[in-house]
Structure 1
Amino acid sequence: MAILTVNHIHHTYFSKEVATEALHNVHFSVAPGEFVSILGASGCGKSTLLSIIAGLLEPTAGDVTFAVDDQNTSIGYMLQQDYLFPWKTIEENVVLGLKLLKCDEMQAKNMAHQLLQAVGLPNIEKKFPRQLSGGMRQRVALARTLAVDPKILLLDEPFSALDYKSKLKLEDLVCAMLKSYEKTAILVTHDIGEAIAMSDRIILMSAKPGTIHKIFDVPLELAALTPFEARTHSSYGGFFQSIWKELESLEHSTSS
């Protein structure tokens, strides 16, 4: 049974001069514990779709439905920037969502401590964001996202601002954490390698308007590995090329 279903979403942006269709009849579902990547070039509506799934944007037509055990479907949202409050300590940043949920202060601090340990950042609770590297700040952002125990994580190119080494390390960490906490995730990316390394399925979108062009099932031998290991597997290159060719065909059809 699907935990999330995107039901024939259409979305149009209106201005005084023109109406621009951003998404056209986008329909798919995500199973519990599944990691799905939405892949496509800039302008294909990936981030618009993620905002609709998060409930931040109302679609022109269609809807998003959730199937969970409780009525309050919590969604974690991790963006390109970490958006940590610079005047708050790391601990205060991590417990922010828990404070909004009116959780016990000591329990919230204990949760922050446990999560910071889990993301490899022990003993930094009293530091401030300016004292951390970009990769460390994104680890804190991950801890903050997981602190409220979301059912579904939405990841909008959260590694794109990092150097390559930090990016690879954080990919491994995110996948390990999601498996450990049994989370469902949707990643928006333009990076084919990242989509292959992290996902169970890849939704390739075409642009103008954004539609689903093709859905790829990541081979089990790749999906079972860590992202770093997947990139070095013998079947990675061939699968990468098959997706690359589809992207190339989309670019040719758009330019012709």
Structure 2
Amino acid sequence: MSFLKVQDIHHTYFTKDTATTALSEVSLTVEEGEFVSFLGPSGCGKTTLLSIIASLIKPTEGTVLLENKPVSTSNNDIGYMLQQDYLFPWKTIEENILLGLKLSKQLNDKTKNYALTLLKQMGLNEDVRKQLPKQLSGGMRQRAALVRTLATEPKLLMLDEPFSALDYQTKLKLEDLVSNTLDEFGKTAILVTHDIGEAIAMSDRVFLLSPRPGRIHKTFEMPKELRESSPFAARNHEAYPSIFQTIWKELESLEQG
């Protein structure tokens, strides 16, 4: 039984005058502990598909099952990490990372200590806890946002271009940090990205979506030696360039076609 099952998803956005089909006949499965990416041309429905899986949008047709049950926004099984960190500027980092626990009524001494331990593991020391978001760099804020997401112990983590606003060096460091953290906790994750290299370096499998309406055009399974490497090491592996070229050409043909 697959951990996540997406079955025959079709989604159309309706306005007063138009109907735009964003996704058509999308089916896929994700196993527990797996890291997969959605890659494709702009406007192919990657974020729409992520939102449907997270139960933020109800699809026009189709179902999404997590551990064989329909997904729901009423539980804490799914965590989100976005391009912007969305930390509250008037709250300290400690208050921000405990917010999810507070809202879900899970905040107690044990969960608070877990969140603060996570913060330390992310390289954010005790001095940082009392600071405001504006006092931290973009990379540090994204680490705090990841801690806030992981603190509620979600079963499935959604990553919607979480590194795209960062400088390249910080992005590479955070890719490694996030990948290692998710491996350590055995988390299942789905990444939406425009970055082919990022998808290859971080993923076990890459789903390439066709232009609108988005369909699963092709699935690329990363070789074992890349899957077992850190993202930084994967980018420097001898197998990396040929996989990059293969996906690049496939993506280019989709955009031209």
Q: TM-score range by the shorter chain?
A: over 0.9
Residue deviations 1:223-242 (CA, integer Å, cap 9, x gap): 11000000000010001001
Does the CA-based 8 Å contact 1:66-1:73 persist in structure 2?
A: no
Mapped to 1, the partners of 2:102 and 2:31 lie a distance apart of 30
Q: For the structure 1 residues 167 and 183, does the alpha-carbon distance in structure 2 shift closer, same or farther, using more than 3 Å as the test? A: same
Aligned counterpart, 2:13: 13
Q: Report whether the alignment pairs 1:76 with 2:70.
A: no
Residue deviations 1:188-227 (CA, integer Å, cap 9, x gap): 0110000000000000001121111100001111111000
Mapped to 2, the partners of 1:113 and 1:16 lie a distance apart of 49
Q: Report whether the alignment pairs 1:223 with 2:199.
A: no
Q: Report whether the alignment pairs 1:120 with 2:123.
A: yes
Q: Report whether the alignment pairs 1:193 with 2:197.
A: yes
Shift of 1:104: 4.3
Aligned counterpart, 1:48: 48
Mapped to 1, the partners of 2:33 and 2:110 lie a distance apart of 26
Aligned counterpart, 2:96: 93
**Percent identity (aligned):** 63
The total of aligned residue pairs comes to: 252
Gaps of 5+ in 1: none
Alignment of 1:1-256 (within 5 A): 1-67=1-67, 72=75, 74-123=77-126, 124-253=128-257
- SS of 2:38's equivalent in the other structure is strand
- SS of 2:120's equivalent in the other structure is helix
Mapped to 1, the partners of 2:29 and 2:176 lie a distance apart of 25
Q: For the structure 1 residues 73 and 86, does the alpha-carbon distance in structure 2 shift closer, same or farther, using more than 3 Å as the test? A: closer
Shift of 1:90: 0.5
Shift of 1:139: 0.3
Does the CA-based 8 Å contact 2:175-2:231 persist in structure 1?
A: yes
- SS of 1:116's equivalent in the other structure is helix
- SS of 2:129's equivalent in the other structure is coil
> Where has structure 1 moved over 6 Å in runs of 4 or more?
none
Q: Which amino acid aligns with 1:96?
A: L
Gaps of 5+ in 2: none
Mapped to 2, the partners of 1:106 and 1:224 lie a distance apart of 35
Which sits farther off after the overlay, 195-204 or 102-111? Answer: 102-111
Q: Which amino acid aligns with 2:247?
A: I
After TM superposition, the score normalised by the length of structure 1 is: 0.95
